[in-house]
Amino acid sequence: MDELSLYVLDIAMNSVRAGATEILIELDDDGEWITFTVTDNGCGMTDEQLKKLSDPFFTTRKTRKVGLGIPFLKMLAEMTGGNVNIKSVSEKISKNHGTTITARFCKNHIDFIPIGDMTQTVITLIQGSPNINFTFRHVMPDKTVYLSCAELHKILGDISLAEPEILTWIGSYLNEQYSSVK
Amino acid sequence: MKSLEELMAIKAKMQDKIAVRTSTSDIRIVVGMATCGIAAGARPVLNAFVEGINAEKLEDKVTVTQTGCIGICQYEPVVEVYEKDKEKVTYVKMTPERAKEVIEKHIKGGNPVAEYTIGATQIAK
């Protein structure tokens, strides 16, 4: 994967598959380091699953025998001198279950990749799961880009966020926030 | 500047349109969006379908949805087309350009683009 936004999409998809109803995606860019965090209220993982997570030959899916999402993220983070941290509470253990995954990247490292099209990533997530309350926040040194699906749901009532008109609006809403940075 | 007020205006415009919409779509386009799909370029393919179906005003007849890994990662991006009373068509190694062609020839024209299907790709190898 050649842009960070694809890693963000891939990792957030794990939260979707974990049955989360609330998914918070945050990127905090201080000019030197980017901290990427996904927090969800999905089914969570047991300690045993957590231990195996960066093993490419561990996956819970049944259609193939390898799971590369987390190993990819870990490799990219560590290549730039950063790291990945995962905390999870399984639904088997507590009612307050869910997962938080944090990855840090050094922006100026030669092995870091372009951030890419974050708007397309958010649009893709909403298109696939219009009922999930995604919150997206991208903090940059001079600007913050923000979207809350819960706020949109409040305005739109029973109109799906996956309606083409709504997706188009969300896309331009985010792109306008991004372009006002420059 | 886009504002949330603007969204309310869009909502008002959409409500009548959605009321007349039939509940079942005739055609379902499913794009694989697991790690294998994303790494192979499924995101722009998905968006090409979403935008293409919208541009052709086919959204009442066609829905575009996402799925996980279906187990043929080497052929990603994979797109499946389900049509009522017809056999499923599986397109492999898709690109946004191929997506446009599939919309034109298959979704609108009714003729699957054989050269992009998994059958044709396997024979070629």
Specify burial of residue A27 (Cβ count, 10 A radius: 0-12, 13-18, 19+).
buried
Which of A16, A6, A56 has the alpha carbon at shortest distance from B77? A6
- Nearest chain B CA: its distance from A12 CA (Å): 11
B15-62 residue pLDDT tens: 777 666 655 678 999 999 999 999 999 999 999 999 999 999 998 899
- Say yes or no to pLDDT of A181 above 80: no
Q: Domain of A99?
A: 4-179
Taking residues B77-104, report their average pLDDT.
96
With beta carbons under 8 A apart, name residues in chain A contacting B39: 1, 6, 10, 68, 72
- Nearest chain B CA: its distance from A89 CA (Å): 23
Q: Residue A143 — φ and ψ, nearest 5°? A: -170, 150
pLDDT > 90 in chain A, percent:
80
**Is the bond preceding residue B44 a cis peptide, omega within 30 degrees?**
no
**CB of A40 within 8 A of CB of A152?**
no
The domain locations on chain B are: 23-124
Q: What pLDDT is attached to residue B19?
A: 63
The CA R_g of chain A, rounded to the nearest whole Å, is 16
Strands (E), A19-82: 22-29, 33-40
- What number of CA atoms fall less than 13 Å from residue B95's CA on the CB side? 3
Q: What pLDDT is attached to residue A48?
A: 87
**CB of B75 within 8 A of CB of B93?**
yes
What's the CATH code of the domain at A154? Answer: 3.30.565.10
Return the CATH architecture of domain B23-124: 3-Layer(aba) Sandwich (3.40)
**Mean model confidence pLDDT for chain B:** 90
A81-125 residue pLDDT tens: 999 999 999 999 999 999 999 999 999 999 999 999 999 999 999
Specify burial of residue A131 (Cβ count, 10 A radius: 0-12, 13-18, 19+).
exposed
Chain A positions with Cβ closer than 8 Å to B: 1, 6, 9-10, 13, 17, 61, 63-64, 67-69, 72, 120-121, 123-124, 127-128, 151-152, 155-157, 159, 163-169, 172-173, 176
Band of the pLDDT at A37, cuts 50, 70, 90? very high
Taking residues B58-86, report their average pLDDT.
93
Q: Which residues pair with B89 in a beta bridge?
A: B81
Q: What pLDDT is attached to residue B1?
A: 67
Q: What pLDDT is attached to residue A180?
A: 84
- Alpha carbons B38 and A162: distance in angstroms, whole number: 19
- Nearest chain B CA: its distance from A108 CA (Å): 23
- What number of CA atoms fall less than 13 Å from residue A83's CA on the CB side? 2
- Say yes or no to pLDDT of A172 above 70: yes
A132-143 residue pLDDT tens: 999 999 999 999
- Alpha carbons A99 and A39: distance in angstroms, whole number: 6
ipTM of predicted assembly, 2 dp: 0.87
Q: How far is CA B43 from CA A5, A25, A53, B31, B35, in A?
A: 10, 18, 25, 9, 11
End-to-end distance of chain B based on CA atoms, in angstroms? 51
Per the structure, the count of domains in chain A is 1
A39-92 residue pLDDT tens: 999 999 998 888 888 777 877 777 777 678 888 999 999 999 999 999 999 999
- Best A62, A68, A70, A165 residue to mutate vs chain B (most B CBs within 10 Å): A165
